[in-house]
Amino acid sequence: MIELLLLSAVIAGVLLFPKSASAHCDTPEGPVIIDGKKALAENSVDRALKWVNVEAEAELARAFELCVDVRGLSDNARKVADHHFLETLVRLHRASEGAPYSGIKPAGTGSSPVIAAADKSMETGSIDELLPLIEESRRDEVAARFRAAIAKQQYDLSDITAGREYVRAYVHFVKFAAGEDHEDIGEQVESHAHNC
């Protein structure tokens, strides 16, 4: 009976949110959803918590616990529960940015070639493919922000504060590479009010 109620709650939550969005973090290839999927695979919400502000931690942790409780019921329950958790993660992330939430975009939408190259640079540790896409006058600053993000990339997953420091550096790098000059981004990301 409890399992049926939990599954019903998850399904209702999924149906309440439409399926379109407007940011890089709203796509399956974006870092927020990638970390959400890893959190599910590792059975630990810690990796995902860095993407939401402190005020949203409890809600995300509750959604994760619900997902874990339900996902073992069946393959369909797992799919619905996982989707609900990812929707909750992105919704809370967008709310902490002060941005509207309109669902998760299909793969392959919403990301510029510069953002894709910036993400790849974080994976490979090299900005060689990114720099030719950047105006020459901005390359030194992009390289400096890249080094700052890479320096914070390795942290203990249970250290949510260090994870948020990495997110701040990552966003600072990616947004500048994409041509968005947010001078106050350091302060914004402290409260997680950024666009990823």
pLDDT digits (tens, 9 = 90+) for 60-79: 999 999 999 999 999 999 99
Contact status, residue 70 vs residue 7, Cβ threshold 8 Å: yes
Query: Residue 153 and residue 165: Cα distance in Å, rounded?
Result: 9
Mean pLDDT of the chain: 82
pLDDT at position 185 over 80? no
Question: Which range (70-74, 98-102, 184-188) has the least confidence?
Answer: 184-188
Angle formed by the axes of helices 57-71 and 2-16, nearest 10°: 120
Which pTM was predicted?
A: 0.76
Where does the pLDDT of residue 196 fall: very low under 50, low under 70, confident under 90, or very high at 90 and above? low
pLDDT over 90 for what percent of the chain?
A: 62
